[in-house]
């Protein structure tokens, strides 16, 4: 079990989800991560991270559906 903060966006309106996720990422210290819990594959979010933060994030699927998707998103150590 990790000590990562868990961000469950399944009950948030879709329009707010990316904002919440990006704010959580911005708040991370180098070398830390959070666990995103979603109701669908957040692959479009990966593309957004790749465009905005190339090489500055980690992305690890922990669970891949069909009902729950969990992804560990991190900020690498400097």
47: confidence class by pLDDT, cuts 50, 70, 90: very high
pLDDT at position 15 is 86
pLDDT at position 2 is 60
Positive or negative, the CA dihedral 23, 24, 25, 27 is: positive
CATH code that applies to domain 5-75: 3.30.110.40
Across all residues in the chain, what is the average pLDDT? 93
Residue 57: name the closest of 27, 43, 37, 77 by CA.
77
Instruction: Delimit the domains of the chain by residue range.
Output: 5-75
pLDDT for 59-78, tens place per residue?
999 999 999 999 999 999 97
Residue 70: name the closest of 3, 5, 8 by CA.
8
* 8 A C-beta contact, residue 76 and residue 30: yes
Share of the chain above pLDDT 90, in %: 88
Burial 20-48 (b: 16+ CB within 10 A, else e): ebeeebeebeeeebbbbbbbeebeebeee
Q: What is the pTM of this model?
A: 0.91
């Amino acid at each position: 079990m990790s000590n990562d903060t868990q961000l469950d966006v399944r009950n948030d309106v879709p329009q707010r989800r990316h904002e919440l996720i990006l704010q959580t990422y911005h708040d991370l210290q180098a070398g830390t991560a959070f666990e995103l819990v979603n109701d669908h594959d957040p692959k479009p979010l990966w593309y957004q991270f790749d465009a905005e933060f190339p090489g500055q994030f980690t992305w690890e699927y922990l669970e891949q559906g069909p009902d729950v998707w969990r992804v560990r998103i991190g900020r690498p150590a400097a």
